[in-house]
Amino acid sequence: LLSIADLSPAEFTKLVLNASSHKAAVKAAFAAGQVPPKPLHGALTGKTVAMMFNKRSTRTRVSTEAAVQMMSGHPMFLGKDDIQLGVNESLYDTSVVISSMTSCMVARVGAHHEVADLAKDSSVPVINALSSDFHPLQTIADFQTIHESLPSRQPSPSSLGLEGLNVAWIGDSNNVLFDLAIGCVKMGVNIAVASPTGYGIPDAMRALILSASAGVANPGQLRETTVPEEAIRDADILVTDTWVSMGQEEESKRRIKAFAGYQITNELAKRGGAKPDWKFMHCLPRHQEEVDDEVFYGPRSLVFPEAENRLWAAVSALEAFVVNKGKIL
Protein backbone atom coordinates (compact mmCIF):
# COMPACT_ATOMS: atom_id res chain seq x y z
CA LEU A 1 0.00 0.00 0.00
CA LEU A 2 2.05 2.89 -1.27
CA SER A 3 -0.70 5.35 -2.15
CA ILE A 4 -4.48 5.56 -2.41
CA ALA A 5 -3.76 5.74 -6.16
CA ASP A 6 -3.08 1.97 -6.03
CA LEU A 7 -6.63 1.19 -4.90
CA SER A 8 -9.85 0.89 -6.87
CA PRO A 9 -12.81 2.89 -5.51
CA ALA A 10 -14.32 -0.40 -4.26
CA GLU A 11 -11.09 -1.39 -2.48
CA PHE A 12 -10.74 2.03 -0.89
CA THR A 13 -14.39 1.99 0.19
CA LYS A 14 -13.96 -1.45 1.76
CA LEU A 15 -10.81 -0.43 3.67
CA VAL A 16 -12.66 2.55 5.13
CA LEU A 17 -15.81 0.58 6.01
CA ASN A 18 -13.76 -2.25 7.54
CA ALA A 19 -11.90 0.31 9.69
CA SER A 20 -15.22 1.64 10.90
CA SER A 21 -16.79 -1.75 11.62
CA HIS A 22 -13.69 -3.03 13.46
CA LYS A 23 -13.80 0.11 15.58
CA ALA A 24 -17.39 -0.56 16.61
CA ALA A 25 -16.79 -4.27 17.27
CA VAL A 26 -13.59 -3.80 19.30
CA LYS A 27 -15.08 -0.98 21.36
CA ALA A 28 -18.11 -3.12 22.16
CA ALA A 29 -15.85 -6.04 23.14
CA PHE A 30 -13.63 -3.85 25.34
CA ALA A 31 -16.73 -2.33 26.98
CA ALA A 32 -17.84 -5.88 27.82
CA GLY A 33 -14.39 -6.69 29.24
CA GLN A 34 -13.55 -9.03 26.37
CA VAL A 35 -10.54 -9.36 24.03
CA PRO A 36 -10.84 -7.95 20.48
CA PRO A 37 -13.26 -10.20 18.58
CA LYS A 38 -12.26 -12.49 15.73
CA PRO A 39 -11.15 -12.05 12.99
CA LEU A 40 -8.75 -9.57 14.61
CA HIS A 41 -7.73 -11.51 17.72
CA GLY A 42 -5.11 -14.01 16.66
CA ALA A 43 -4.93 -12.73 13.09
CA LEU A 44 -1.19 -12.00 13.31
CA THR A 45 -0.17 -14.66 15.85
CA GLY A 46 3.49 -15.53 15.41
CA LYS A 47 4.02 -12.71 12.91
CA THR A 48 6.35 -9.74 13.19
CA VAL A 49 5.67 -6.39 11.54
CA ALA A 50 8.84 -4.35 10.99
CA MET A 51 8.24 -0.63 11.45
CA MET A 52 11.09 1.25 9.78
CA PHE A 53 10.77 4.94 10.62
CA ASN A 54 13.43 7.40 9.58
CA LYS A 55 11.33 10.36 10.80
CA ARG A 56 9.58 11.01 14.08
CA SER A 57 5.93 10.02 14.56
CA THR A 58 3.27 9.95 17.25
CA ARG A 59 0.09 8.78 15.52
CA THR A 60 1.53 6.47 12.87
CA ARG A 61 3.86 4.74 15.28
CA VAL A 62 1.38 4.33 18.13
CA SER A 63 -1.51 3.31 15.87
CA THR A 64 0.57 0.72 14.02
CA GLU A 65 2.04 -0.78 17.18
CA ALA A 66 -1.36 -0.87 18.85
CA ALA A 67 -3.00 -2.39 15.76
CA VAL A 68 -0.40 -5.18 15.47
CA GLN A 69 -0.75 -5.88 19.19
CA MET A 70 -4.55 -5.97 18.91
CA MET A 71 -4.14 -8.58 16.17
CA SER A 72 -1.81 -10.68 18.39
CA GLY A 73 1.34 -9.94 16.36
CA HIS A 74 4.68 -8.41 17.29
CA PRO A 75 5.40 -4.84 16.19
CA MET A 76 9.17 -4.27 15.86
CA PHE A 77 10.00 -0.57 15.84
CA LEU A 78 13.21 0.24 13.98
CA GLY A 79 14.15 3.91 14.19
CA LYS A 80 16.76 5.45 11.94
CA ASP A 81 19.53 4.88 14.50
CA ASP A 82 18.60 1.24 15.08
CA ILE A 83 19.36 -0.30 11.72
CA GLN A 84 22.14 -0.05 9.14
CA LEU A 85 19.89 1.41 6.42
CA GLY A 86 21.13 4.68 4.98
CA VAL A 87 24.51 4.55 6.75
CA ASN A 88 26.02 1.15 6.17
CA GLU A 89 23.51 -0.68 4.02
CA SER A 90 21.50 -0.20 0.84
CA LEU A 91 17.73 -0.20 0.49
CA TYR A 92 17.94 -3.37 -1.61
CA ASP A 93 19.92 -5.37 0.96
CA THR A 94 17.75 -4.06 3.80
CA SER A 95 14.55 -4.96 2.02
CA VAL A 96 15.62 -8.49 1.13
CA VAL A 97 16.92 -9.19 4.64
CA ILE A 98 14.09 -7.70 6.71
CA SER A 99 11.40 -9.19 4.49
CA SER A 100 13.01 -12.63 4.90
CA MET A 101 12.38 -12.44 8.66
CA THR A 102 9.07 -10.60 9.03
CA SER A 103 5.54 -10.58 7.60
CA CYS A 104 5.26 -6.89 6.68
CA MET A 105 7.31 -3.71 6.50
CA VAL A 106 5.66 -0.43 7.49
CA ALA A 107 8.03 2.32 6.41
CA ARG A 108 8.21 6.08 6.99
CA VAL A 109 10.75 7.50 4.57
CA GLY A 110 11.97 10.73 2.96
CA ALA A 111 11.73 10.56 -0.82
CA HIS A 112 8.84 8.42 -2.08
CA HIS A 113 11.15 6.25 -4.22
CA GLU A 114 12.62 4.86 -0.99
CA VAL A 115 9.39 3.13 0.02
CA ALA A 116 8.68 2.17 -3.61
CA ASP A 117 12.16 0.57 -3.83
CA LEU A 118 11.63 -1.26 -0.55
CA ALA A 119 8.38 -2.67 -1.93
CA LYS A 120 9.97 -3.66 -5.24
CA ASP A 121 12.54 -5.89 -3.56
CA SER A 122 10.48 -7.12 -0.62
CA SER A 123 8.99 -10.61 -0.35
CA VAL A 124 6.34 -9.31 2.08
CA PRO A 125 3.74 -6.50 1.87
CA VAL A 126 5.01 -2.95 2.38
CA ILE A 127 2.81 -0.19 3.82
CA ASN A 128 3.78 3.45 3.32
CA ALA A 129 3.75 5.19 6.69
CA LEU A 130 4.43 8.62 5.05
CA SER A 131 6.68 9.53 2.18
CA SER A 132 7.40 12.82 0.42
CA ASP A 133 4.39 12.14 -1.83
CA PHE A 134 1.73 10.13 0.01
CA HIS A 135 0.19 9.20 3.36
CA PRO A 136 -2.38 6.48 2.59
CA LEU A 137 -3.06 5.43 6.21
CA GLN A 138 -3.99 9.03 6.97
CA THR A 139 -6.37 9.17 4.02
CA ILE A 140 -8.15 5.98 5.09
CA ALA A 141 -8.61 7.48 8.59
CA ASP A 142 -9.74 10.80 7.10
CA PHE A 143 -12.46 9.19 4.99
CA GLN A 144 -13.48 7.02 7.93
CA THR A 145 -13.88 10.24 9.93
CA ILE A 146 -15.95 11.89 7.21
CA HIS A 147 -18.06 8.73 6.80
CA GLU A 148 -18.71 8.52 10.55
CA SER A 149 -19.58 12.23 10.79
CA LEU A 150 -22.26 11.89 8.08
CA PRO A 151 -24.32 8.84 9.11
CA SER A 152 -27.15 9.72 6.73
CA ARG A 153 -24.89 9.16 3.68
CA GLN A 154 -25.32 5.58 2.46
CA PRO A 155 -22.24 3.71 1.19
CA SER A 156 -22.43 1.39 -1.81
CA PRO A 157 -19.89 -1.32 -2.75
CA SER A 158 -17.84 1.17 -4.78
CA SER A 159 -18.27 4.41 -2.87
CA LEU A 160 -18.89 5.85 0.57
CA GLY A 161 -21.94 7.79 -0.60
CA LEU A 162 -20.17 11.12 -0.16
CA GLU A 163 -20.67 12.33 -3.74
CA GLY A 164 -21.01 16.09 -4.08
CA LEU A 165 -19.39 16.90 -0.74
CA ASN A 166 -16.98 19.87 -0.93
CA VAL A 167 -13.59 19.72 0.78
CA ALA A 168 -11.40 22.83 0.96
CA TRP A 169 -7.68 22.36 1.59
CA ILE A 170 -6.10 25.61 2.77
CA GLY A 171 -2.31 25.46 3.00
CA ASP A 172 0.69 23.62 1.67
CA SER A 173 0.37 21.21 -1.25
CA ASN A 174 1.99 18.23 0.40
CA ASN A 175 2.00 14.45 0.89
CA VAL A 176 -1.17 14.47 3.03
CA LEU A 177 -3.05 16.52 0.45
CA PHE A 178 -2.01 14.33 -2.50
CA ASP A 179 -3.50 11.09 -1.18
CA LEU A 180 -6.52 12.96 0.21
CA ALA A 181 -7.14 14.51 -3.21
CA ILE A 182 -6.83 11.11 -4.92
CA GLY A 183 -9.33 9.70 -2.42
CA CYS A 184 -11.67 12.63 -3.08
CA VAL A 185 -11.59 12.15 -6.85
CA LYS A 186 -12.29 8.41 -6.44
CA MET A 187 -15.16 9.03 -3.98
CA GLY A 188 -16.87 11.79 -5.97
CA VAL A 189 -15.91 14.43 -3.40
CA ASN A 190 -14.93 17.82 -4.83
CA ILE A 191 -11.68 19.25 -3.52
CA ALA A 192 -10.62 22.89 -3.80
CA VAL A 193 -7.00 23.62 -2.93
CA ALA A 194 -5.68 27.04 -1.95
CA SER A 195 -1.90 27.32 -1.72
CA PRO A 196 0.33 30.36 -2.14
CA THR A 197 2.12 30.84 -5.47
CA GLY A 198 5.09 28.48 -5.57
CA TYR A 199 3.49 26.03 -3.12
CA GLY A 200 0.85 24.55 -5.42
CA ILE A 201 0.45 21.00 -6.70
CA PRO A 202 3.37 19.92 -8.96
CA ASP A 203 2.31 19.12 -12.55
CA ALA A 204 3.09 15.40 -12.37
CA MET A 205 1.13 15.08 -9.13
CA ARG A 206 -1.84 16.97 -10.60
CA ALA A 207 -1.85 14.53 -13.51
CA LEU A 208 -1.86 11.59 -11.09
CA ILE A 209 -4.70 13.09 -9.02
CA LEU A 210 -6.78 13.71 -12.15
CA SER A 211 -6.08 10.20 -13.43
CA ALA A 212 -7.84 8.85 -10.32
CA SER A 213 -11.11 9.66 -12.10
CA ALA A 214 -10.58 6.81 -14.59
CA GLY A 215 -13.53 4.43 -14.41
CA VAL A 216 -15.34 6.49 -11.75
CA ALA A 217 -18.91 7.36 -12.75
CA ASN A 218 -19.08 10.65 -10.79
CA PRO A 219 -15.49 11.62 -9.95
CA GLY A 220 -14.77 14.50 -7.61
CA GLN A 221 -13.48 17.67 -9.24
CA LEU A 222 -10.16 19.30 -8.35
CA ARG A 223 -10.07 23.10 -8.21
CA GLU A 224 -6.90 25.12 -7.51
CA THR A 225 -6.43 28.74 -6.44
CA THR A 226 -4.07 30.96 -4.48
CA VAL A 227 -6.97 32.64 -2.64
CA PRO A 228 -8.17 30.81 0.51
CA GLU A 229 -11.65 32.40 0.33
CA GLU A 230 -12.17 31.04 -3.19
CA ALA A 231 -11.42 27.49 -2.08
CA ILE A 232 -13.71 27.83 0.94
CA ARG A 233 -16.84 28.79 -1.00
CA ASP A 234 -19.60 26.20 -0.20
CA ALA A 235 -17.12 23.97 1.62
CA ASP A 236 -18.46 21.27 3.93
CA ILE A 237 -15.04 20.47 5.37
CA LEU A 238 -11.98 22.70 5.78
CA VAL A 239 -8.68 20.85 6.03
CA THR A 240 -5.10 21.86 6.53
CA ASP A 241 -1.72 20.50 7.63
CA THR A 242 1.56 21.99 8.77
CA TRP A 243 3.14 24.58 6.50
CA VAL A 244 6.56 23.09 7.25
CA SER A 245 6.74 19.34 6.73
CA MET A 246 9.45 17.20 8.27
CA GLY A 247 12.66 17.80 6.31
CA GLN A 248 11.69 21.38 5.37
CA GLU A 249 12.76 22.95 8.66
CA GLU A 250 15.39 25.12 6.95
CA GLU A 251 12.65 26.76 4.86
CA SER A 252 10.57 27.48 7.93
CA LYS A 253 10.89 31.28 7.99
CA ARG A 254 10.26 31.63 4.26
CA ARG A 255 7.25 29.34 4.37
CA ILE A 256 5.59 31.00 7.34
CA LYS A 257 5.92 34.33 5.53
CA ALA A 258 4.55 32.91 2.27
CA PHE A 259 1.49 31.40 4.00
CA ALA A 260 0.42 34.62 5.77
CA GLY A 261 -3.37 34.91 5.45
CA TYR A 262 -3.88 31.15 5.22
CA GLN A 263 -4.62 30.52 8.91
CA ILE A 264 -8.02 28.82 9.27
CA THR A 265 -10.27 30.86 11.56
CA ASN A 266 -14.03 31.25 11.90
CA GLU A 267 -13.69 34.68 10.27
CA LEU A 268 -11.89 33.25 7.23
CA ALA A 269 -14.53 30.54 6.86
CA LYS A 270 -17.30 33.13 7.08
CA ARG A 271 -15.60 35.46 4.60
CA GLY A 272 -15.08 32.58 2.18
CA GLY A 273 -18.70 31.42 2.45
CA ALA A 274 -18.25 27.92 3.89
CA LYS A 275 -21.49 25.98 4.50
CA PRO A 276 -23.09 26.89 7.86
CA ASP A 277 -22.30 23.47 9.38
CA TRP A 278 -18.71 23.23 8.07
CA LYS A 279 -16.31 20.93 9.88
CA PHE A 280 -12.54 21.09 10.41
CA MET A 281 -9.92 18.37 9.93
CA HIS A 282 -6.14 18.20 10.39
CA CYS A 283 -3.88 15.13 10.37
CA LEU A 284 -1.77 16.54 13.25
CA PRO A 285 0.72 17.52 14.55
CA ARG A 286 -0.75 21.03 14.47
CA HIS A 287 0.73 24.48 14.94
CA GLN A 288 -1.07 27.71 15.81
CA GLU A 289 -0.17 29.39 12.53
CA GLU A 290 -2.25 27.11 10.29
CA VAL A 291 -5.41 27.06 12.48
CA ASP A 292 -6.34 29.04 15.56
CA ASP A 293 -7.40 27.52 18.88
CA GLU A 294 -11.03 28.56 18.46
CA VAL A 295 -11.44 26.33 15.40
CA PHE A 296 -9.01 23.60 16.42
CA TYR A 297 -10.57 23.01 19.85
CA GLY A 298 -14.06 24.15 18.84
CA PRO A 299 -17.25 22.19 18.14
CA ARG A 300 -16.58 21.97 14.38
CA SER A 301 -13.30 20.18 14.88
CA LEU A 302 -13.03 16.47 14.03
CA VAL A 303 -9.29 16.32 14.75
CA PHE A 304 -9.36 13.95 17.72
CA PRO A 305 -11.73 11.34 16.24
CA GLU A 306 -9.61 11.69 13.08
CA ALA A 307 -6.45 10.93 15.09
CA GLU A 308 -8.11 7.96 16.85
CA ASN A 309 -9.22 6.61 13.50
CA ARG A 310 -5.56 6.14 12.59
CA LEU A 311 -5.72 3.04 14.81
CA TRP A 312 -8.65 1.59 12.89
CA ALA A 313 -7.09 2.50 9.55
CA ALA A 314 -3.97 0.60 10.57
CA VAL A 315 -6.06 -2.42 11.65
CA SER A 316 -7.92 -2.37 8.34
CA ALA A 317 -4.73 -2.06 6.25
CA LEU A 318 -2.91 -4.82 8.16
CA GLU A 319 -5.91 -7.11 7.79
CA ALA A 320 -6.16 -6.47 4.05
CA PHE A 321 -2.48 -6.52 3.14
CA VAL A 322 -0.93 -8.91 5.68
CA VAL A 323 -3.70 -11.27 6.85
CA ASN A 324 -5.58 -11.40 3.52
CA LYS A 325 -2.47 -10.88 1.37
CA GLY A 326 -3.78 -7.91 -0.58
CA LYS A 327 -7.33 -9.18 -1.05
CA ILE A 328 -9.54 -6.43 0.30
CA LEU A 329 -12.53 -8.41 1.51
171 membership: H or E segment, kind and range? none
CB of 284 to ligand NVA, least distance (A): 7
Q: Which of residues 116-135 bind ligand CP (CB under 6 A)?
A: 130
Question: Which of 185, 226, 134, 240 shows the shortest CA–CA distance to 9?
Answer: 185
Give me the 246-285 binding string for ligand CP, x by CB under 6 A, dash otherwise. -------------------------------------xxx
DSSP 8-class letter at 130: -
CA distances from 130 to 2, 53, 157 (A): 9, 9, 27
CB of 246 to ligand NVA, least distance (A): 4
Residue 245 makes contact with ligand NVA by CB under 6 A: yes
Residue 114 makes contact with ligand NVA by CB under 6 A: no
Contact segment (CB under 6 A) with ligand NVA among 209-217, 241-249, 271-279, 305-313 equals 241-249
Q: Which is nearer to ligand NVA, 67 or 180 (CB)?
A: 180
Residues 74, 76, 79, CA angle at the centre, nearest 5°? 165
**Is 184 marked active-site?**
no
Which residue of the set 1, 43, 283, 315 is catalytic? 283
Q: Which of residues 115-174 bind ligand NVA (CB under 6 A)?
A: 130, 174
Q: Which of residues 282-321 bind ligand CP (CB under 6 A)?
A: 283-285
Query: To 10 degrees, the CA torsion angle through 207, 231, 168, 282?
Result: 110
Q: Give me the helices (H) in 32-159, please.
A: 59-70, 91-101, 112-121, 136-149
Report the relative pairing of strands 190-194 and 104-108 from DSSP bridges: unpaired
Task: Tell me which residues touch ligand CP (CB under 6 A).
Answer: 57-60, 130, 138, 283-285
Positions annotated as catalytic residues are: 283
